[in-house]
Amino acid sequence: MSCLLVVHSDIGIKKSTNQDSVLAVKADTDMGEISLVAVCDGMGGFAKGELASATVIRALNDWFANRLTYLVGSGFSDDDVRREWTDLLKNQNEIIKAYGAGNGISLGTTIVAALFYGNRYIICNLGDSRAYRLGNGIELITKDHSYVQRELDAGRMTEAEAEVSPQRSVILQCIGASDDIFPDFFSGTTSPGDSFVLCSDGFRHKIGMNEIYKYLNTGMTPDVVRMKNNMEYLTELNKYRAETDNISVAMARIVS
């Protein structure tokens, strides 16, 4: 399996700092090419959100550079990645919480991350950043850990109400500001031509899934240049529609 990887992050039209962090790395191994993309959204309203997101991205990058070598040598499965990432994120939760307590501040971050190896993908999600799969259509893979998602699941809120709810940015879990965390995992097989789009909530508040598919499907993004251009176009469209958050997106295209 081989992937094309592209990321884009923008401070947006209102905030003074970009609290999002993104990652895209790949390596040639004895198991073939392995790729990793991730988006972390430092929590708006919390001090040092950019520190929290960058800390988690750095830990994930270190895992890829160091721990993955050991896993490749012994062979690994989705369950191994699930255990490794759960331990990593729980450890980061304690580190960031301790930093916040020691400095008298609150900080936290979401994460959505995807690992591609062989013909497999495994995606981890905590918070309200999202992962979509684009093939013949578009599929939302992840499920938000948010107040409005909980209300939707309970039948106390409609989709239309959720879209305009003043509490739509309230999340129920994040790394660094939760006593304990319970990340979700999703896994499956990939096919050549599939694209996986990971994004912070700022990327998808003002545009719909149909627009994400229209501009990021395989036919519209045949190479990394078009992938990057169209990701930037959708970012600018969000800003034109008055999205006030930071805007970040990562994309992985399965090419073989």
Q: pLDDT tens for residues 4-13?
A: 999 999 999 9
Q: Write out the E strands in the chain.
A: 3-10, 20-29, 32-41, 111-117, 120-126, 130-134, 138-140, 184-189, 195-199, 247-254
Give the mean model confidence (pLDDT) for residues 208-228.
96
pLDDT digits (tens, 9 = 90+) for 132-161: 999 999 999 999 998 888 988 898 988 888
Band (46; pLDDT cuts 50, 70, 90): low
Instruction: Classify residue 214 as left (phi > 0), alpha (psi -120 to 50) or beta.
Output: alpha
Mean of the per-residue pLDDT values of the chain: 94
pLDDT digits (tens, 9 = 90+) for 65-102: 999 988 998 889 999 999 999 999 999 999 999 999 99
The burial of 43, by beta-carbon neighbours within 10 Å (0-12 exposed, 13-18 middle, 19 or more buried), is given as buried
d(CA 142, CA 196): 12
% of residues, the chain, pLDDT over 70: 98
Q: Write out the E strands in 30-143.
A: 32-41, 111-117, 120-126, 130-134, 138-140
